Structure 1
């Protein structure tokens, strides 16, 4: 006999309550291998946890993920703690993680993270303390095992890139209890050699236990205090040790460390030849440009020669003189014409011209014109002006006796 019919939502909600109230499912610890890992932009982590037979979906919210001391990766074996619950919307169950710890190497990993955080807080990882790597090092000191693959890789890379490079090898232990002390001694020794330009600290790949000597606190301080810049090439590309964070440059492998430390002589020579060609071309172009400019200046100087200017100005002066002469003559002729008109007008109105007709001009002794009988009666002597001269006369007015 069936109970009443439920909706999908009601059924999913019921299953969720059953699972949430289960003591084991609400407080579980599960180990497995991470796959399909995704770190969302929101800060939440989504991944699957699998073993040889099965897998389950997992989620870790940002509030819990921010407390992790490492970033989970695909293939990493871990132990997760949290609870199992149902995502009602999809009707699927998933594991909600509160913590994630590496499986098998938990203690070493926690010690690694603890030391890393300590040194980071002390500023040993800060970029401002990183020493620049010499671009053209002449002598490179190498601290590594003299019999390991790392030194062979470094020598091979060096021979390929620059046969003239001098390598000074300090044979050191790179694994075991006394390895870190041996490496510290190597750093101190190479720092005391004046012509060593930089140091490579190298070792081939291995497990975290095999690489553990490179996570030593004293070694980290030694790398930090080194006067010479240090490049680390420890393990494989995925391997990180404390010295990688402290060193001035981290290379993913010993071969890569050699690539960074040893400049490619052939490339440098080719660059020099290229620069020489460019320089010669630039010099020739510069000379040609300057020659063209010089020729142009010469033409300008010739065209602006003062003697040519002076000759031209002489011609201008002659033209101006001629122009002035023309203007003066024009002005004189105009003034002569005006003067002639005035003279003709004066001649036409000159009272002396009337004397030619038999008339005369009578003046008193003060040269005042006498024009009436009344004025004449008052005078005893007058001046009479005729056309050919003048004379003073005593005269008698008709009807009166006057001498």
Structure 2
């Protein structure tokens, strides 16, 4: 056993963290406080400080939980938070991990509604200039709503009774629950791929929670971007949603929307939709059994709190990402400074001066080359004149001027009488012409020779 009584910082921090995690009172806490230093990361995580008059508590809400918050957390808001408290080992400080967040003193839904309404109004999504006109006699009408219920029934009955010439296409849509927002947006986008004259988007009445999908920003922007004019028909006459403000026309009820969409024509048409209740019952029973098994599994450690296993890594990644972003900014700044320094150095070495200097040197070399070429030409001229005089002095023509001649035999110069025989023809070249001759006799001038010799 080691005799060293001192712990490392890491070991002590891990010990403290285990104490926090083992305390059942810290696994599920309810805290009320004021938001401060709220930072919503691009990943969806929310970092903030929860404070009151005398204390401050660092806190974080990961993206999976943050998506359930109806409003946008802002500094200064008083909120009610449920979560757990543990130690973040990297910094050695304890912090609150929020799982749910509610506004205190004002409803979450009302606060989220007002925040989104103010945001979209500033962007101009409610302006009358963007409202599209409706055709007087529509031929095709798209209806985006739930496939069953009072709303779709009232719309279809009213449309067929008032104007049976119009073709009605229902886009079955979830209008309530977690998947409703995506379903509504997809249905609006799908309808815009066809040539409809009018689109009715809505549902029947209900609580604010039931109608909440029509207060979502994604739904509002899908309505605004639609090329087909849209009538919003959500809830009863007293219900007002963000979709009502963005739509080209707002109807108090689904029935009123159908009346606004087409001219009056009394004729009823019932449309029957059926579901296989047995399949739903089977699916419900299966889900119940699987959920029971899942609850039994997740209640055991460490599955009871699996998120605690990866929390430190999530925060470490976020901090590393922030550090990397800062380093990129610093590297970019240093590169700009170096670029500016090189620009100044380049400016000190003016290309114009270098060109002028090179031009001067080129001019000097050109003059020197011209001088050398002239001198060489004069030398060559003198050498040529001397050679021509020498050649002229040695020319056979000069000798022929003094009475000499040259004999040729078959184009070859005859240098000796021994080269010819009697009777052969010769050509004798003189200074003013040639003579054709025939050898009649050879006379040798060498001493003791006769004419044959």
Q: Do the two structures share a fold, i.e. TM-score over 0.5? A: no
Query: Normalization by structure 1: what TM-score?
Result: 0.40
Query: Normalization by structure 2: what TM-score?
Result: 0.35
Task: State the structure with more CA Rg.
Answer: 1
